[in-house]
């Protein structure tokens, strides 16, 4: 199996939405691949289709046409339950707001155990990620006891337990200062180095400049793809 | 693909710790608890209310029946068996078959015995000494004489009376045996039982021995049969009289129920037991001339009938209430998803499906659901106990109520879970319904279908005002479904239609391009426009329950007022006291009592009328009257009685003009008659003739039944009459005419609707809180932003008050308007007995409505103040960073 088959990919994917009676295209015949072990940055102005692409990659939405594959599986061919199973075992998601990624009543350790239980891996697996991410001293803290950067790194660890085949991050540094951005990008690199295909939608140059691949979207189309 | 750890989703912390999680969000927990209480309340109230109605029906009937008659009465007319043997048999059979009977009361009765030149009744009842007022003499063997009898015949303790035998025996050669009279000593004098206004229940089983038979007296036939004096004797003396004086002696063995506070099922069981006991006595040799009586079976049967027939109206109301409650639970489920969206999205990204998120919702809501179910059941019990027909509820009804509450609880949990699961589908990436379909569904005026259904139901529901059901236990009135279903459907339709139109109107108004005079007005308009649908929905969920509550309360009052008016018009006044001999009005009743002389067989020309000779000065103030009758006041009408010419007032069909009144030996009197459609206290269908008591002849004065008509509560009136020493033949309370009648269940049904008022008010409150909670985040941001822009906190407070109170008060006012309209529309149908004057007395509960409006206003102000206080405590920086 190639690294692309291990990762995520879109082939001729289109998606449009109806707004006030008009059909507005969000993605038009997009081809994107996110190989395993690499960070793929998806960049582009607001409204270019980044979020739609991420929703399609996480199986939270279905394309009008084309195929979306995760670890070699065509999401469109799966039932709702199949997509849920795929998310459970193969996908991780980190959202922009650090508060949106964690459960307020669980400590860091409990988060990691929860993820391990869901993914059916030993409970200690998650804690092994803490040291590389620099948050090993915070295992018994609740989310509100952590800083924004710490929360986002815990969120990355939480999503990466298993590990999944693909980790999708939507503006992971959007609410962080420079110091924390570096820590988060480093964390993503750690995850990618573990063989996970990391797909990050971002405006932040600090992220896409350190990505392995960059896909630029504009008006729902891929206008540039660089390695 | 890797599998989940052993135990599945339920073993994971978000599910396992679910029941504790909602405690972190008390507002959501409270909203869910109240929503479930709203669903459980009507479901749980149905069975207990039906039982309560059955108990009330039974109580209304049993309260006027002697307890001894309710139990077992075994009467051996002429001692066919040994008294002791019969008493033992009755006791044994009662123990075997009829559990729930009290101790036996054994009475030996010798009726119409010749004592000297008089005929008297003699009775010996165990323990009678404690139930008479002894005036002279003391214990011992012999007779106790009533004081009037003793005074009339100059008898005192120590004297003897002579009793003549009345047993006829013939010798073998057909010669009649003749025994000599027997002298029996007098041992005591007691106060005549007839001189006591209220009967001691101890005597009620044999009250005919000293009061005569009321059936004979009331019917006129046999009213000339003299009522005999009652002489009392101890058991030994009675047996001596029976055997030694050769007097026929009957034996009565009475066993009253141990308690008369019976529920309908208890009464049914006891009645069946008594019937079995009597059957067993019959089949074990105690038959022949022995009479077995009990009044309980028909009363128990009637209570069961009422309970059964009320199901037809009570259960649909309960089902409707349950549906309303479940709708609120659905709203609570959707609300839960909104408040827990962050966590749900996290779990959805880990592959949790919508059904598992629904299960999580149910688990999280479990404590709130349980608290709500317990609260709803308690509230149901409290409602029935406080505002229901009776607080006596059978054990079976309680069990049914618990089962219903449990079922409603499970249903609510399921509805909450399913609603939450459906609301979670978008979070899990499930496809949403097509926008076009949603849009079309939203604009379709489906509420008009409700109006069509209401019209159809009305037209097919017949034109009878009330349905009378016949059975072996009599008739009863059942509230026709159209009086419930049609107004509810129509009000729902108008509310939804009004909401739709109001939303459009608000949007149009707030779209206005005219420049607002102030920033506050501009903000108000913008906010209203932004949340037009929510504001109108809030008004709608306020209007609908208020309309139901208002209609229910109006219907209750109207039916009650109409029945009360009919009862008072039939009785004459609140209380009508028939005196055994003329007496003056007690000083404490002055101003609210009037003397009336009643003669029911008077001739007016060729027509028989009921004559009421009244005091023209006080009659109009005391007698019941409704000004809608003949469009005149009674004071105005009775002015004719005071005229120098002999004026009189008669009810239809007596015509206006001169008529001649004749009665007995009195000379005929020419009267100038003014005719009215109806007058108080008609009897037997004869017209009523009112005349001045000063103008009637001597024979009328002698033969008329003296009455006192009094306005006010019966208990103080009874006390005043007792204190004045008046000899009362009967004490008639107008309201008692309703008790036990077949009209009663109608008021029960509306009482249930009144209970529903509380439920609907709760619905409005829950809806309001849900609305507010869902908007709190937006309000916080708005508050913080406007504070930064320099808008003062107080101004924002007023803005919030206007926004919240506007919807609530508008909804409340609209609901009250709908209630009044609905009640006016069906007013003719709210008359249980259309044939009886004075017709429907439409009675709006204005104080209740004003109270409701005030309460809603106060509630809105309170919530606005609390919400504003919560907003002012928010830290601007945190709110704008959305740290929630």
Residue B92 structure tokens: 């044994």
A112 domain-assigned: yes
Does the N-terminal peptide bond of residue A62 adopt cis geometry, omega within 30 degrees of 0? no
Q: What is the pLDDT of residue B226?
A: 61
CB pair distance less than 8 Å for A87 and B351: yes
Q: Is the pLDDT at B277 greater than 80, yes or no? A: yes
Q: Using CA atoms, how far apart are residues B37 and B46, in angstroms rounded to an integer?
A: 14
Write the residue in B11, B343, B350 that is nearest to A115 by C-beta: B350
* Higher pLDDT, residue B46 or B221: B46
CB-based contact A35:A9 (threshold 8 Å): no
B contact test, residue of A16, A100, A165 with most B CBs within 10 A = A100
A contact test, residue of B429, B440, B878, B883 with most A CBs within 10 A = B429
Write the residue in A58, A62, A101 that is nearest to B346 by C-beta: A101
Q: What is the pLDDT of residue B759?
A: 64
Report residue B188: phi and psi, to 5°. -160, 160
Per CB-CB distance under 8 Å, the chain A contacts of B1 are 85-86, 89-90
* Cα separations in angstroms, B145 against B156, B208, B211, B445, B784: 9, 17, 16, 84, 94
Q: Using CA atoms, how far apart are residues A156 and A98, in angstroms rounded to an integer?
A: 10
Q: What is the pLDDT of residue B884?
A: 43
ipTM: 0.90
How distant is the alpha carbon of residue B851 from its chain centre? 22
Q: How many helices (H) and strands (E) does chain A have?
A: 8, 10
Q: What is the pLDDT of residue B522?
A: 73
Picking from B266, B267, B290, B289, the residue whose alpha carbon sits closest to that of residue B278 is B290
For residue B438, give how far its alpha carbon lies from the nearest alpha carbon of chain A (Å).
Answer: 13
Residue B535 structure tokens: 């504001």
- Give yes or no for A116 touching B (CB within 8 A): yes
Q: Is the pLDDT at B431 greater than 70, yes or no? A: no
Q: Using CA atoms, how far apart are residues B512 and B510, in angstroms rounded to an integer?
A: 5
Picking from B360, B371, B356, the residue whose alpha carbon sits closest to that of residue B409 is B371
- Give yes or no for A61 touching B (CB within 8 A): yes
Q: Write out the residue range of the structural domain in which residue A100 sits.
A: 35-60+87-226
A136 domain-assigned: yes
Write the residue in B14, B349, B353 that is nearest to A93 by C-beta: B349
Q: Is the pLDDT at B399 greater than 90, yes or no? A: yes
- Which residues touch B301 (CB under 8 Å, ≥6 apart)? B268, B271, B472, B473
Helix H or strand E segment including B125: strand B118-125
* Higher pLDDT, residue B788 or B740: B788
CB pair distance less than 8 Å for A110 and B430: no
Q: What is the pLDDT of residue B432?
A: 60
Q: What is the pLDDT of residue B408?
A: 93
Strand partners for B110: B122
Q: Using CA atoms, how far apart are residues A61 and B768, in angstroms rounded to an integer?
A: 34
Q: What is the pLDDT of residue A2?
A: 44
CB pair distance less than 8 Å for B13 and A121: no
Q: CA quadruple A72, A78, A81, A84: dihedral positive or negative?
A: positive
Write the burial class of residue B845 (CB in 10 Å: 0-12 exposed, 13-18 middle, 19+ buried).
buried
Q: Is the pLDDT at A1 greater than 50, yes or no? A: no
Q: B297: pLDDT confidence band, cut at 50, 70 and 90?
A: confident
Q: What is the pLDDT of residue B622?
A: 86
Report residue B240: phi and psi, to 5°. -65, -40
CB pair distance less than 8 Å for B882 and A85: no
Return the percentage of chain B with pLDDT > 70, whole number: 83
Q: Is the pLDDT at B75 greater than 80, yes or no? A: yes
Q: B371: pLDDT confidence band, cut at 50, 70 and 90?
A: very high
Mean pLDDT over residues B632-649, rounded? 74
Considering A153-157, B61-65, B198-202, the range whose residues carry the highest mean pLDDT is A153-157
Return the percentage of chain B with pLDDT > 90, whole number: 6
Q: Is the pLDDT at B774 greater than 80, yes or no? A: no
Cβ burial B423-447 (10 Å sphere, 16+ → b, else e): bbbebbbbeeeeeeeeeeeeeeeeb
Picking from B30, B10, B41, B15, the residue whose alpha carbon sits closest to that of residue B409 is B41
CB pair distance less than 8 Å for A59 and B11: no
Q: Using CA atoms, how far apart are residues B863 and B799, in angstroms rounded to an integer?
A: 13
- Give yes or no for A142 touching B (CB within 8 A): no
Picking from B661, B669, B569, the residue whose alpha carbon sits closest to that of residue B623 is B569
A214 domain-assigned: yes
- Give yes or no for A159 touching B (CB within 8 A): yes
Q: Using CA atoms, how far apart are residues B382 and B392, in angstroms rounded to an integer?
A: 12
A107 domain-assigned: yes
Q: What is the pLDDT of residue B223?
A: 39
Q: Is the pLDDT at B165 greater than 60, yes or no? A: yes
- Give yes or no for A216 touching B (CB within 8 A): no
The CATH number of residue A102's host domain is 3.40.50.300
Question: Residue B227 carries which DSSP code?
Answer: P
Q: Work out how many domains chain A is built from and give that number.
A: 1
Q: What is the pLDDT of residue B144?
A: 93
Q: What is the pLDDT of residue B153?
A: 87
pLDDT tens digits, residue range B547-581? 887 887 888 788 778 877 887 888 888 888 888 77
Q: B426: pLDDT confidence band, cut at 50, 70 and 90?
A: confident
């Amino acid at each position: 199996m190639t690294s692309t088959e291990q990762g995520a990919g879109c082939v001729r994917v289109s998606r449009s939405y109806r707004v006030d009676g008009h059909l507005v295209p969000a993605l038009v015949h997009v081809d994107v691949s996110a190989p395993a072990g690499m960070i793929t940055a998806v960049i582009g102005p607001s409204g270019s289709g980044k979020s739609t692409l991420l929703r399609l990659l996480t199986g939270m939405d279905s394309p009008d046409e084309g195929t979306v594959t995760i670890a070699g599986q065509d999401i469109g061919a799966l039932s709702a339950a199949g997509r849920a199973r795929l998310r459970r075992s193969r996908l991780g998601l980190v959202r922009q707001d650090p508060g949106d990624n964690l459960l307020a009543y669980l400590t860091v350790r409990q988060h990691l155990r929860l993820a391990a239980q869901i993914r059916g891996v030993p409970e200690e697996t998650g804690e092994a990620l803490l040291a590389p991410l620099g948050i090993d001293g915070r295992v018994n803290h609740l989310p509100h006891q952590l800083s924004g950067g710490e929360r986002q790194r815990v969120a990355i660890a939480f999503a990466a337990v298993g590990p999944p085949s693909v980790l999708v991050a939507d503006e992971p540094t959007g609410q962080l200062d420079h110091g924390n951005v570096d820590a988060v990008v480093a964390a993503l690199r750690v995850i990618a180095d573990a063989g996970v295909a990391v797909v990050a939608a971002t405006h932040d140059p600090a992220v896409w400049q350190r990505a392995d691949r960059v896909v630029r979207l504009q008006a729902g189309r891929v206008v540039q793809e660089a390695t | 693909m890797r599998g989940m750890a052993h135990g599945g989703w339920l073993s994971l912390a978000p599910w396992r710790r679910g029941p504790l999680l909602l405690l972190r969000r008390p507002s959501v927990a409270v909203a869910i608890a109240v929503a479930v209480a709203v669903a459980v309340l009507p479901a749980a109230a149905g069975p207990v209310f039906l039982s309560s109605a059955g108990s009330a029906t039974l109580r209304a009937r049993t309260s006027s029946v002697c307890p001894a008659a309710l139990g077992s009465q075994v009467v051996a007319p002429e001692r066919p068996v040994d008294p002791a043997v019969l008493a033992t048999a009755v006791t044994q059979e009662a123990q075997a078959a009829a559990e729930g009977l009290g101790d036996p009361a054994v009475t030996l009765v010798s009726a119409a015995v010749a004592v000297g030149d008089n005929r008297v009744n003699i009775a010996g009842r165990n323990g009678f000494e404690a139930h008479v007022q002894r005036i002279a003499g003391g214990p011992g063997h012999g007779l106790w004489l009533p004081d009037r009898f003793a005074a009339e015949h100059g008898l005192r303790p120590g004297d003897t009376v002579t009793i003549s035998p009345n047993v006829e025996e013939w010798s073998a050669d057909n010669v009649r045996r003749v025994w000599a009279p027997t002298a029996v000593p007098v041992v005591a004098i007691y106060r005549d039982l007839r001189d006591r206004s209220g009967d001691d229940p101890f005597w009620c089983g044999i009250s005919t021995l000293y009061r005569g038979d009321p059936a004979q007296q009331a019917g006129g036939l046999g009213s000339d049969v003299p009522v005999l004096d009652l002489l009392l004797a101890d058991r030994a003396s009675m047996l001596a009289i029976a055997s030694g004086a050769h007097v026929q002696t009957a034996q009565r063995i009475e066993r009253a129920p141990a308690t008369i506070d019976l529920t309908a099922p208890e009464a049914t069981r006891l009645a069946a037991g008594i019937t079995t006991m009597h059957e067993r006595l019959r089949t074990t040799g105690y038959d022949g001339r022995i009479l077995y009586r009990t009044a309980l079976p028909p009363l128990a049967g009637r209570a069961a009938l009422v309970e059964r027939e009320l199901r037809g109206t009570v259960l649909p109301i309960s089902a409707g209430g349950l549906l309303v409650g479940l709708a609120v639970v659905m709203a609570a489920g959707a609300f839960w998803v909104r408040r827990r969206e962050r966590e749900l999205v996290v779990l959805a990204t880990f592959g949790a499906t919508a059904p598992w998120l629904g299960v999580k919702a149910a688990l999280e809501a479990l404590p709130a659901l349980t608290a709500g179910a317990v609260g709803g059941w308690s509230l149901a019990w409290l409602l029935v106990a406080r505002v229901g027909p009776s607080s006596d509820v059978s054990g079976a009804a309680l069990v049914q109520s618990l089962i219903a509450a449990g079922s409603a609880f499970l249903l609510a949990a399921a509805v909450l879970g399913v609603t939450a699961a459906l609301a979670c589908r978008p979070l899990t990436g499930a496809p949403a319904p097509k926008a076009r379909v949603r849009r079309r569904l939203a604009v379709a005026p489906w509420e008009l279908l409700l109006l069509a259904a209401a019209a159809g139901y009305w037209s097919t529901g017949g034109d009878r005002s009330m349905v009378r059901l016949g059975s072996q236990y009599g008739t009863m009135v059942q509230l026709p479904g159209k009086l419930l279903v049609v107004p509810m459907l129509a009000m729902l339709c108008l509310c939804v239609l009004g909401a739709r139109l109001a939303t459009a109107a608000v949007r149009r108004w707030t779209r206005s391009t005219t420049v607002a005079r102030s920033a506050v007005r501009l903000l108000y308009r913008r906010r209203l426009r932004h949340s037009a649908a929510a504001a109108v929905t809030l008004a709608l969920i306020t209007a609908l329950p208020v309309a139901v509550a208002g209609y229910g309360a109006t219907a209750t009052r109207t039916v009650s007022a109409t029945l009360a008016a009919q009862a008072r018009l039939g009785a004459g006044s609140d209380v009508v006291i028939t005196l055994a001999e003329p007496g003056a009005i007690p000083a404490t009743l002055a101003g609210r009592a009037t003397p009336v002389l009643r003669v029911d067989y008077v001739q007016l020309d060729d027509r028989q009328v009921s004559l009421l000779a009244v005091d023209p000065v006080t009659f109009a103030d005391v007698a019941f009257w409704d000004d809608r009758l003949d469009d005149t006041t009674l004071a105005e009408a009775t002015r004719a009685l005071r005229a120098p010419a002999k004026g009189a007032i008669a009810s239809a069909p007596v015509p206006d003009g001169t008529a001649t009144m004749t009665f007995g030996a009195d000379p005929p009197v020419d009267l100038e008659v003014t005719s009215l459609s109806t007058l108080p206290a008609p009897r037997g269908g004869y017209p009523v003739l009112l005349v001045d008591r000063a103008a009637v002849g001597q024979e009328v004065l002698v033969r008329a039944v003296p009455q006192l008509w009094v306005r006010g509560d019966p208990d103080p009136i009874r006390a005043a009459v007792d204190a004045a020493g008046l000899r009362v033949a009967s004490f008639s309370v107008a309201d008692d005419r309703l008790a036990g009648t077949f009209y009663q269940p109608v008021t029960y049904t509306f009482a249930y609707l009144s209970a529903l008022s509380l439920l609907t008010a709760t619905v409005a409150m829950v809806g309001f809180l849900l609305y507010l909670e869902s908007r709190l985040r937006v309000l916080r941001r708005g508050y913080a932003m406007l504070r930064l822009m320099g808008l003062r906190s107080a101004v924002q407070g007023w803005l919030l008050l206007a926004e919240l109170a506007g919807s609530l008060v508008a909804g409340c006012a609209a609901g009250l308007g709908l209630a009044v309209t609905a009640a006016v529309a069906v007013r003719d149908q709210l008359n249980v007995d259309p044939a009886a004057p004075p017709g429907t007395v439409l009675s709006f509960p204005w104080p209740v409505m004003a109270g409701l409006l005030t309460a809603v206003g106060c509630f809105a102000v309170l919530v606005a103040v609390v919400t504003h206080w919560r907003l002012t405590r928010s830290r601007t920086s945190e709110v704008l960073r959305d740290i929630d």
